[in-house]
Amino acid sequence: MNKIYQEYRENGAAENAMPGQVNERTDSERKNAEEKTDREREQREAIRDTGELTLHGRIHLLTVIGEIEGHDCLPNNSKTTKYEHVLPKLAAIEDSPDIDGLLILLNTVGGDVEAGLAIAEMIASLSKPTVSLVLGGSHSIGVPIAVSTDYSFIVRTGTMVIHPVRMSGTVIGAPQTYDYFKQMQDRILGFVSEHSRADRERLEELMLDTGILTKDLGTILVGKEAVREGLINEVGGIGQAFQKLYELMGR
C-alpha cells in the first residue's frame, strides 16, 4: 500500500506541476547526464593516453609502467612512461586546488637515469601528500621513484632490482668513463638513502653483489625483503595505499 500511495503522490505532483517546472527539471537532468558522460569520456581518454586519472576523493592517480623514456624515443611496440608527459602533470598537480593527494602505481623495468631522477626529484618536492605502490616491480631507476613519496608500499610478490648503472652503445675504456659512471651511481645512492630508511653503504653492497643476478651485478629484493632493507615502508596493496594517503591528507 505504501508503494502504491507513493506512486500516486509522485504522479499527482507531476500532473499538478507547472509546465515550466517540468521542463526545467528535465533540462537539468539532461544537462547532468551530459556532464557525467563527458567526464567519463575524458577519464577513458586520460587512462588510454597517459595512464592517469583523477579520482572522486580529490586524489590523482599516476602510473609509471614499462620503460622510462628519456631523450631518445623507444620503439612504438614498447610500453613506456615519457618524462616529458610526467613532469608537466606533476607541476599541474602541485598547482591544482582540486587535487589533495597523489597515488603512484609502479610496474617498471627502469630506463633512462636522468629522466628517472628528474621524475623522482619532482615527486619528492611536491607539497601535497604522496604515496607509492610497487606492483609487479620497480627496477633500476624505478627504485628512486618508488622511494620519493611520503610513504611507500610494495605488494607481497613485488620486486625491486638494485644494480650498477649500465650504458648501451660504445663505452670508452678510460678513467673518465669510470668516474662518470661512479658519479651517476653516487647520485642514485644519495637520493635513495635520503628518501628511505636504507643505509647507503648497504645499498652499495646490494648494488655490487655478484651472487644473485646471472652474469651481472646487483640484487633482487622481493616484497618483505625490500621493507627489511629499508627501501619501502610497508607491505600492502591498493586498500592500504588509499588508507594511508587519506590519513596523510587529514581525512
d(CA 148, CA 59): 17
Q: Which of 60, 132, 139, 140 is catalytic?
A: 140
Q: Is 56 a catalytic residue?
A: no
Give bridge partners of residue 133 from the DSSP assignment: 105, 153
Q: Is 60 a catalytic residue?
A: no
CA torsion, ordered 165, 170, 171, 172, to nearest 10 deg? -160
Phi, psi (rounded to 5 degrees) for 55 = -90, 170
d(CA 117, CA 185): 11
Cβ-count burial 184-216 (b if 16+ within 10 Å, e if not): bbeebbebbbebbebeeeebbebbebeeeeeee
Cell 619532482: give the residue. 122
Q: Which of 60, 139, 163, 195 is catalytic?
A: 163
What value, to the nearest 5°, has the Cα angle with vertex 248 and ends 67 and 238?
Answer: 45
Cβ distance 113 to 119 under 8 Å? Answer: no
Q: Enter the DSSP assignment of 249.
A: T
Cα separation values, 90 from 81, 98, 108, Å: 13, 14, 18
| Residues assigned a catalytic role | 140, 163
